[in-house]
Amino acid sequence: MIIAILALPALLWMILRISMSAGPYNMDQGQHRGSFFPLLILYSVFAYIILIASACGAFFSYCADQNWPAFLFLSAGIEALLFAGFLVFFYEGYMHATASGTSNYTLNKYAVVLSLGVSAVVTFVLAVGLMVAGVAVK
């Protein structure tokens, strides 16, 4: 199960990489420079909420002697932090590249961000489910 959870972002990245068309992609809607910034803030806040909730969930599930949910919560928190970090990093590079008129937001970058975001949510939901099921059993 540990390998499956750790491999989830890589598996999603491969599926997205194979199934989607090659880029470059635009982060800004309608070619309006800087229009993605409000969404960047919302995505970052969402990732930080998952990070904080995951840290709290890991602490409480570890205190309740539930090691699997604690591991899953920690994995979700790390994936959420990586999601926010890569998203900010790629958007910063995108803004510098679009100043010269080109987009450097490639399919690989889009797949990394999307796979980390989806993995964080899926892992968090799975951890909550296991924690609730473990509490119900006791």
Residue 53, pLDDT score: 95
Q: Examine the pLDDT at 50 and tell me if it is beyond 90.
A: yes
Residue 119, pLDDT score: 93
Q: For 71-124, how does the pLDDT look when each residue is reduced to its tens digit (9 = 90+)? A: 999 999 999 999 999 999 998 888 888 777 777 888 888 889 999 999 999 999
Residue 22, pLDDT score: 75
Listed in sequence order, the DSSP H helices in the chain are 2-19, 37-63, 67-98, 107-137
What is each CA distance from 39 to 68, 91, 94, 112, in whole angstroms?
Answer: 33, 11, 15, 17
| CA-wise closest residue to 112 among 2, 51, 25, 41 | 25
**Are residues 111 and 17 in contact, defined by beta-carbon separation less than 8 angstroms?**
yes
Q: In whole numbers, what is the pLDDT of the chain averaged over residues?
A: 85
Residue 51, pLDDT score: 94
Could you tell me which residue, 135 or 63, shows the higher pLDDT? 63
**Domain residue spans in the chain?**
36-137
**CA dist., res. 39 & res. 59, Å (int):** 30
Q: Which two tokens stand for residue 110?
A: 């889009």
Identify the weakest region by mean pLDDT among 5-9, 67-71, 95-99, 132-136. 132-136
Residue 136, pLDDT score: 56
Residue 137, pLDDT score: 52
